[in-house]
Every structure is written in structure tokens, then in C-alpha cells.
Amino acid sequence: MEQWDQDYVDMDSPGHITFKQGGTGQLHFGCVEAELDWRLEAGTERVEFTFSGFDEGDEVAGRGGRPPVDRPAPLSPGRRIRV
């Protein structure tokens, strides 16, 4: 998310991605609030996800992914990652 500065990311509340049990979660940055479905890419710790939610009242949806945040700690459900 390098294209947005931290002030935008934290505009409404601290930006984050939360990975919950069962492959669900939440994403928040700027004015975007979204629910997500996630999975670990087979044989790696890379996370792939799809999201749907709202950006200032407009519906948004998409997909994304990210490499592990901090090695060697693996991704675990319930983990919140600051963006």
C-alpha cells in the first residue's frame, strides 16, 4: 500500500488487516471497511484474499495478497497486521 501515506491509511482509525479463524477477516484503511476471505497459498506463507465492503458509502470489492510480514513467525488466525 505504498501509494497511500500513513495519514490516509489511519484517517478513520488505525489501518489494519485482521485474519480470523475459518479464513475470514477484516480490512480497514482510509475510509475503506471490508470483510475478507483468505487462504494461505499452497506450500508458502503467502496470504491470498478477496474483499468486499464500502469506501465512503460506495461498494468496493477486489483481491490481494501479501508475503509473510515477519519471519520466522507464521501467520496465525486472529492475527492483526498494521498497514
Q: What is the mean pLDDT of each run of 10 residues along the chain (83 residues)?
A: 78 86 89 91 83 94 77 53 60
pLDDT score for 34: 95
Could you tell me if 79 and 17 are in contact, meaning their C-beta atoms sit under 8 angstroms apart? no
CB atoms within 10 A of CB 40: 15
State the Cα–Cα distance between residues 10 and 4, nearest whole angstrom: 10
Q: Report pLDDT for 61.
A: 95
Torsion-angle region of residue 22: left (phi > 0), alpha (psi -120 to 50) or beta? left
